[in-house]
């Protein structure tokens, strides 16, 4: 095994796994791995065989053939910068999350841009 991820089991399930492993002479982790691999659905087995093992957080890319959407960095996207500046100027009580949701960037990106703009007097787009 190359990884040892932690998973949460119910206490009764963990005890049963330890007892079963002792009865068949296997470590609980080996027994659990074999149980999971023996009971895969045909769809999951096909995905594993056709595209390799998924990495954590990569299941969505296995299930869809769409390419990941890419966007320009905020500082290289003048249309979005103009909209962000307009929202910041027009609505004094707007949150970074509201702005980020409307333009497709995270609230952290919007907040960083606004703080840099205030600190360095970045000219509006």
Is 72's pLDDT higher than 90?
no
Residues 51 and 90 in one domain: no
Question: How confident is the model at residue 119, as a pLDDT?
Answer: 85
Residues 58 and 94 in one domain: no
- More confident site: 15 or 46: 15
Residue where a domain terminates, one of 22, 40, 63: 63
C-alpha span between 71 and 80 (Å, rounded): 11
Distances (CA, A) of 11 to 23, 26, 28: 18, 19, 14
Grade residue 69 by pLDDT with cuts at 50, 70 and 90: low
Question: How confident is the model at residue 43, as a pLDDT?
Answer: 84
Query: Domain containing 91 — which CATH number?
Result: 1.10.10
Residues 93 and 112 in one domain: yes
User: Would 110 be classed as within a structural domain?
Assistant: yes
> What pLDDT digit, counting tens, does each position of 29-51 carry?
889 888 888 888 888 888 777 76
Is 95's pLDDT higher than 60?
yes
Grade residue 7 by pLDDT with cuts at 50, 70 and 90: confident
Question: How confident is the model at residue 63, as a pLDDT?
Answer: 53
Question: How confident is the model at residue 123, as a pLDDT?
Answer: 62
User: Would 54 be classed as within a structural domain?
Assistant: yes
User: Would 3 be classed as within a structural domain?
Assistant: no
User: Would 18 be classed as within a structural domain?
Assistant: yes
Residues 17 and 48 in one domain: yes
Our count of domains for the chain comes to: 2
- The domain of 99 spans 74-120
Task: Quote the pTM value.
Answer: 0.43
3-class DSSP string for 84-98: HHHHHHHCCCCCHHH
Residues 98 and 55 in one domain: no
Residues 20 and 59 in one domain: yes
Residues 16 and 43 in one domain: yes
pLDDT, average across residues 43-63 = 63
Per DSSP, the three-state class of 73 is coil
């Amino acid at each position: 095994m190359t990884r040892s991820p932690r998973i949460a089991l119910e206490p009764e399930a963990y005890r049963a796994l330890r007892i079963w492993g002792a009865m068949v002479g296997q470590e609980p982790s080996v027994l659990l791995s074999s149980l999971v691999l023996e009971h895969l659905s045909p769809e999951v087995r096909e995905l594993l065989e056709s595209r390799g093992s998924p990495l954590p957080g990569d299941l969505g890319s296995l299930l869809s053939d769409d390419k990941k959407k890419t966007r320009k960095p905020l500082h290289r996207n003048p249309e979005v910068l103009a909209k962000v500046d307009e929202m910041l100027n027009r609505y004094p009580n707007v949150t970074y999350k509201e702005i980020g949701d409307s333009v497709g960037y995270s609230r952290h990106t919007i907040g960083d841009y606004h703080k840099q703009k205030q600190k360095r007097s970045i000219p509006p787009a």
